Structure 1
Amino acid sequence: MSKIVSGEEFTRAQKVKKWFRKYFFEGQHLEKDAVEELTKLPENPTFHDLLFIKHRKYVAMLIPFLLIHAVWWSSAIRYNFFRWYHDYWHMPVVMTLGAFVGGMTSEGAGAVAFPVMTLILHTAPSVARDFAIMLQSIGMTSALVCIVFMKVRIESRAVFLGTAGAVPGFIIGIHIVDPLMTGPQKKMLFVAIWTAFAFALALLNSQKKRPTYTKIPEFNFWKGSVLLLTGVIGGIFDSFAGSGIDVSIFSVVTLLFRVSEKTATPTTVVLKGVNAIFGFYYRAVMMGDVATDSWRYFAVTVPVASFFAPLGALIGSHFHRQVVAALVYVLEAATLVGFLLNGPSWQLLVCGTVIILIGCVFFHVLANLGARLMEHIESREKPSLCSNSAA
């Protein structure tokens, strides 16, 4: 009897281990040359092989960490950043999680920073936006370096075309769209749009074992135009919330073009890092009106972001795509609850509900179009496969 019980327990433990390995240790999706380097690694590797091939992912984390901390510590000692921790300690604590989640998911650290600062700390949206952009220029860029150095697979065309649209979109948004909205309206719009996106992503992932691609299939002019236009819209969202280009591109490449979250997530991290640098430059240099609070929040949070964002990118690159999607659901649910607990006016609640419903319909249509595109591609591939097998 005891042997049977122990056998059942052993089987149960095996199932748990298999489940855990499937969802949390699925492995990285690397570029072809990186895979070839690992498979051809000699039995007695050289120091170079160990450093830049076998243990590449750990070196990838160390590079941005050491560079940024060297600059930060020398600056912090010279200008005494430490005196600001007494009043601005909240964001280093929050961004320990925020930067980690930002590097791991399609939503940058700004998706945590903006709602926390506006809904919980009641900071002005402009201060929260600038801080989010500035911090992501450090955290998401650190994750970018980590991803590129690890040679994790990304959709480079989405990065290039998304950025080409986001730059003018950000400039248009910062000068035209942002001044038209009040602080509460910005909070409502941020929460409503991302809640609708989370719903659409959950709906898509309810389809068990749906086929996905590692790159945008049959890339052509109209698909590039869609990415460019999406970049413009995402840049406008960035201009008032400090976050948007990443989720906008993520939604299009996953829902419409059916790219796997395993590829789409690091793609949006790289995209966000590039655009955060531009946003930081434009606000701090070209406009020159970044608030003092944003600078001080930024100064005390840099060490946290430069470590936890690439750590999130490293760990997230091993997760199953459904785990990455689940993290998005949790993040959006927490943001929605935070918004409701702040007691918004009934007008904002009505507007937010309408936007969520419209967003759900839009993303649902986008997902259906993606399904039709995928069926169209597969219907053309099947005859060629049949002819090849007949030959």
Structure 2
Amino acid sequence: MIFIADGQLKSVNINRSMIYWVPLFLFWLIWSVSLGSQNILIVFENYWQSSITMIAGSFVAGATPLGGGAVAFPVFTKIMQVSSSDASFFSLLIQSVGMTFATLFFISRNTMINWKVIRYACIGSFLAYPVSFIYISLENITVRFIFSEFIVFCAFIMLWKKQNQHLKSKSMYWAVLFGFFGGLLTAKIGSGCDVILYFYLVFICQYCAKDSIPTTVCFMAINSIYASVWLLFTSTPSEFVVGSWWASAPIVSIGAPLGAYVLSKLRANQTVIMIISIISIEVLSSLLFAPFSIMNKVTILITITTLLIYTVWQKNVKS
């Protein structure tokens, strides 16, 4: 056993915390110098709506497996009437900042991240992006419907499954497969691969809901960077996307790590309640504001009703 004096231990913790604070300082310095004081005011004046949206979006990105795009995409497309392609592009670009800093924050606090699962899942997701960008053409409203249905299942899975303390050994081929489907979804709406990896960790591997989130955050950060680079090389972002990024980038660099910090302070059941609440808001907003067909809305309501009945029945059987 190795004993470390209090002073030495404090020094180690301070040095490790620099993994987050030094990049954050450099990022803010580069951001402010690149824009200049006059342009900073202009950017915030023109794109303040994006900044406000990402205050909530970045917190969700760091504290849950949903990603900042799960907030940005519906708000931009439903409320701000931004095109789905711009909303998706922005989601990927801004998550490249926020979720990267959240990952650095987790690393600086020595939080457990399952790098093996991430490596295998990235094999699948990295293969999926060119397939989705080039060969798959779906209406974004269809993808949004699929996503809404999927996260409804995720919410109820968190209610059904008994959370274990240790990750069970599962074939990594499943991680590749789930990563691939996550990449297909993320290429269309700017988020989703973290939710699908969360599904894999909690449902397939029966991992603790709270402890799986840092892994999904890191996975989404890597995928956001990869997809953003792909898009920047193959297309040109609109003025709205660029301006919104400049106005939101410094906010998410702090907001996502703040969400990560709050996550570290919550108990597992509190984390589940928070995630289910956010999912409920997203699904409800989709039913109220998204231009779904009547059939799509009825399908979502039937799914929720069926899962509620099944959940109540399961609890009665166990009791």
Matched, 1:304 2:251: yes
Change (3 A) 1:290 1:357: farther
Who is 1:196 aligned against?
Answer: 153
Secondary structure of 2:265 counterpart: coil
Partner of 1:52: 12
One of 123, 139, 164 as aligned partner of 1:212: 164
Shift of 1:246: 0.5
Q: Which amino acid aligns with 1:234?
A: G
Q: Does 1:284 align with 2:232?
A: yes
Change (3 A) 1:186 1:74: same
Structure 1 position 350, deviation (Å) = 4.1
Cα distance in 2, alignment partners of residues 266 and 241 from structure 1: 21
Partner of 2:49: 90
Aligned to 2:64: 105
> Separation in 2 of the partners of 1:278 and 1:42?
42
**Conserved? CA contact 1:57–1:146, under 8 Å:** no
- State yes or no: 1:324 paired with 2:277: no
Count of residues paired in the alignment:
308
> For 2:22 and 2:210, how far apart are their aligned partners in 1?
23
Alignment-derived partner of residue 5 in structure 1: none
Amino acid at match of 1:104: A
Structure 1 outlier segments of 4+, above 6 Å: 354-358
Contact kept, 8 Å, 2:158 with 2:209, in 1: the verdict is: no
Out of 203, 216, 225, the position equivalent to 1:268 is 216
- State the alpha-carbon separation in 2 of the partners of residues 71 and 128 from structure 1: 25
The 2-side partners of 1:172 and 1:353 are apart by: 32
Deviation at 1:295, TM superposition (A): 1.3
CA distance in 2, matches of 1:355, 1:280: 34
Gapped regions of structure 2 (runs ≥ 5): 312-319
Q: Does 1:315 align with 2:262?
A: yes
Aligned to 2:126: 167
| Residue 355 to residue 126, structure 1, CA distance change in 2 (3 Å) | farther
Alignment of structure 1 residues 115-126 onto 2, 5 Å? 115-126=74-85
Partners of 1:340 and 1:145 in 2: CA distance: 36
Q: Is the CA contact 1:118–1:187 (under 8 Å) kept in the aligned structure 2?
A: no
Q: After TM superposition, list the pairs within 5 Å mapping 1:1-391 onto structure 2.
A: 40-43=3-6, 45-46=7-8, 49-53=9-13, 55=14, 59-77=18-36, 80-177=39-136, 179-181=137-139, 183-204=140-161, 210=162, 212-214=164-166, 216-219=167-170, 223-285=171-233, 287-342=234-289, 344-350=292-298, 352=300
Alpha-carbon displacement from aligned partner over 1:281-327 (angstroms, at most 9, x marks no partner): 00112x12322211111111001000111121122123222222212
When structure 1 is superposed on structure 2, of 127-136 and 55-64 the one drifting more is: 55-64
Give the whole-Å Cα distance in 2 for the aligned partners of 1:87 and 1:345. Answer: 34
Q: CA deviation at 1:349?
A: 2.0
- Once the two structures are TM-superposed, the CA of residue 123 in structure 1 deviates from its matched residue by 1.3
Contact 1:185 1:348 in 2 (8 A): no
Aligned equivalents of 2:99, 2:260: Cα separation in 1: 9
Shift of 1:64: 3.4
The 2-side partners of 1:173 and 1:61 are apart by: 33
Whichever residue aligns with residue 180 of structure 1, its letter is: L
**Relative to structure 1, is the Cα distance of residues 306 and 243 closer, same or farther in structure 2, using a 3 angstrom cutoff?**
same
How far, CA to CA, are the matches of 1:81 and 1:240 in structure 2? 30
Higher CA-based Rg: 1
Question: What SS is found at the alignment partner of 1:80?
Answer: helix
Rounded Cα–Cα distance in structure 2 between residues aligned with 1:344 and 1:176: 24
- Per-residue Cα deviation, 1:70-93 (whole angstroms, up to 9, x for no partner): 111111118824313223111211
In structure 2, what is the Cα distance between the partners aligned to 1:357 and 1:290? 41
Q: Is contact 2:54–2:248 with CA below 8 Å preserved after alignment?
A: yes
Q: Which amino acid in the other structure matches residue 288 of structure 2?
A: L
Of 269-278 and 61-70, deviating more is: 61-70
**Separation (CA, whole Å) in 2 of partners of 1:191 and 1:277:** 24
| Matched AA of 1:188 | F
Q: Deviations over 1:106-141 (max 9, x none)?
A: 111111111111122121111111111000000000
Report % sequence identity: 22
- Alpha-carbon distance change, 355 to 180 in structure 1, aligned in 2, over 3 angstroms: farther
CA contact (8 A) 1:198 1:329 kept: yes
CA distance in structure 1 between the partners assigned to 2:178 and 2:34 by the alignment? 38
The whole-number CA distance in structure 2 between the counterparts of 1:163 and 1:353 is 33
Change (3 A) 1:203 1:145: same
Whether the aligned pair in 1 keeps the contact of 2:51 and 2:247 (CA below 8 Å) is yes
SS of 1:151's equivalent in the other structure is coil
When structure 1 is superposed on structure 2, of 258-267 and 230-239 the one drifting more is 258-267
With over 3 angstroms needed to count, the CA separation of the structure-2 counterparts of 1:354 and 1:158, relative to structure 1, is: farther
* Structure 1 residue identity aligned to 2:297: L
Contact 1:138–1:302 under 8 Å retained in 2: yes
The 3-state SS of whatever aligns with 2:4 is coil
Distance between the aligned counterparts of 2:86 and 2:33, measured in 1? 26
